[in-house]
Chain A
Amino acid sequence: MIDKINKILLLLILSLATSFSINATTISPEVVEHGETVAEEELNVKELILGHLADSYEWHIWSSGEKHVAISLPVILYSKNSGWHFFSSSKLNHGKSSYKGFQIASEGKYKDKIVEIDGLGFENRPLDLSLTKNAASLIINSLILILIILGVARVLKRDPLKSHKGFAGLMEMFILMIEDEVVKTTVGKDYKRYSPYLLTVFFFIFINNLLGLIPFFPGGANVTGNIAVTMVLAIATFLMVNLTGSKAYYKEIFWPDVPTWLKVPFPLLPIIEFVGLFTKPFALMIRLFANIMAGHAIVLGLTSIVFVTVDLGPTINSSMTVVSVLFTVFINFVELLVAFIQAYVFTLLSAVFIGLARHDDSEIKKEMVKSKVN
């Protein structure tokens, strides 16, 4: 009896969620008094999606009709002609006005970035250290991550041997799972040296992916879907792998254990191995960037199906809205899984590369000699 009531309640709530669409009506062009028609602005889906995926100088929170509420982030510029400038991005008014010779370029090489128009009319780009949406989101997400991890660490340090419950217990299990499965097995014997970096990378990517899926402030900025952010993470892995590589590792790259003709007149295999040093972090960068950006683009595209079908009549609009809501919920669940998997794969591959670099040939040779003797 209770199960039946629960099932009926669940069905009611689900139908309520999709029924908010049914009172969408078409918006007909208004006729102004002196006979001119004011046409409704066309919805450009591609621009909408690209605008949400790209970085911007202000953080748009919501808009109701014509009113837009946005946080204008600070702009910090250094131009060779006029020195340092600090001002709020509201002075640039979404690219419509210019301030002290700076404006947001609307087309060309520096589209949507601040350029300085000098006396001759040429655009040149100053050194732009502004706190854009992605930079502000990085700071906010890092603060959230630090609060979570340090809070959990304090609770766990108070009583290390007790089995904790609640959020601290959950985080303990999570961290131990990553450390045991990923770090210990792949890095090898001196895993303790590398586990701070690897655990930080995992939780950083995971928190940024998760917060990118939340549509409202403070989440909603496309941080890990920005190739600059993933490039820095890949460079960090590259430095971590190569700065602490063992001699055997470098020997394998520049003078591998292969027939001499592959090495002597033209160093074919050393060149291939050297290029391989760079392609592995490059693959890490592209994998994370493309997965997260594609996920955000899919969610935005499915949501804009609702608005694209507005002109086609109320029945098509309401049915497409139901379809869109169900698909969007499903894709959001898939994106949650992808957020975890991408963080896990990045950390696992970084650990594998570090493990390969720390691989010590002399240990293996000792074992082989021992087994031959026995």
Chain B
Amino acid sequence: MELLSVLLQISDYIGTIGGAFGVAVSVIGAAFGISKIGKAAVDGIARQPEAGSDIRTTMIISAALIEGVALFAIVVSGFIL
């Protein structure tokens, strides 16, 4: 009962709260994805140090692409906010 009355008080700002949540969740997703790439890249370089610079280039490109997707979400949430 108290929960409903509290929710009623903040009902004007639910859009802003939703926008903020959107940004936060998309950042979590991006960080998760890029950390997996980083781990795989470090493992690959540890197994085969000669392929080091190829792996590094691939890692940077994949990280930039994933960040691009996360930034789509941020741009759209920015419009909502």
Contacts and interface: CB of A to CB of B under 8 A. Distances in A.
A349 to B, nearest CB: 8
A348 B68 contact: no
Given A345-B61, A348-B61, A283 B68 contact: yes
B19 to A, nearest CB: 14
A40 interface: no
B28 to A, nearest CB: 16
A291 B71 contact: yes
Interface string A272-296: 0000000000010011011100100
B71 A287 contact: yes
Interface in A320-351: 341-342, 344-345, 348
A66 interface: no
B75 A341 contact: no
A181 interface: yes
A344 B63 CA distance: 12
A286 B64 contact: no
A290 B71 contact: yes
B21 interface: no
B72 to A, nearest CB: 6
Interface string B25-41: 00000000000000000
Interface string B4-34: 0000000000000000000000000000000
Given A291-B67, A345-B65, A286 B72 contact: yes
Q: Which of the listed residues A287, A289, A342 has the most CB atoms from chain B within 10 Å of its own CB?
A: A287
B60 interface: yes
Contacts of B60: 341, 344
Nearest to A340: B60
Nearest to B65: A345
Interface residues of A, number: 13
A181 B68 contact: no
Chain A interface SS verdict (over half): helix
Nearest to B75: A290
B33 to A, nearest CB: 15
Contacts of B71: 286-287, 290-291, 294
Interface in B51-77: 57, 60-61, 64-65, 67-68, 71-72, 74-75
Interface string A345-372: 1001000000000000000000000000
Contacts of A348: 61
Nearest to B67: A291
Nearest to B70: A290
Contacts of B65: 287, 345
B38 to A, nearest CB: 15
A283 B67 CA distance: 11
Nearest to A345: B64
Contacts of A290: 68, 71-72, 74-75
A13 B60 CA distance: 34
B76 to A, nearest CB: 10
Nearest to A282: B72
Given A181-B57, A341-B60, A345-B61, A286 B67 contact: no
A345 B64 CA distance: 7
B64 A294 contact: no
A290 B71 CA distance: 6
B68 A287 contact: yes
B57 to A, nearest CB: 7
A252 B46 CA distance: 40
20 contacts: A181-B57, A286-B68, A286-B71, A286-B72, A287-B65, A287-B67, A287-B71, A289-B75, A290-B72, A290-B75, A291-B68, A341-B64, A342-B64, A344-B60, A344-B61, A344-B64, A345-B61, A345-B64, A345-B68, A348-B61
- Report the 7 A-B pairs with minimum CB-CB distance, sorted nearest first: A287-B68, A290-B71, A345-B64, A290-B75, A341-B64, A286-B72, A291-B71
Given A283-B72, A344-B61, 7 more contacts: A287-B67, A290-B75, A294-B71, A294-B74, A344-B60, A345-B65, A345-B68
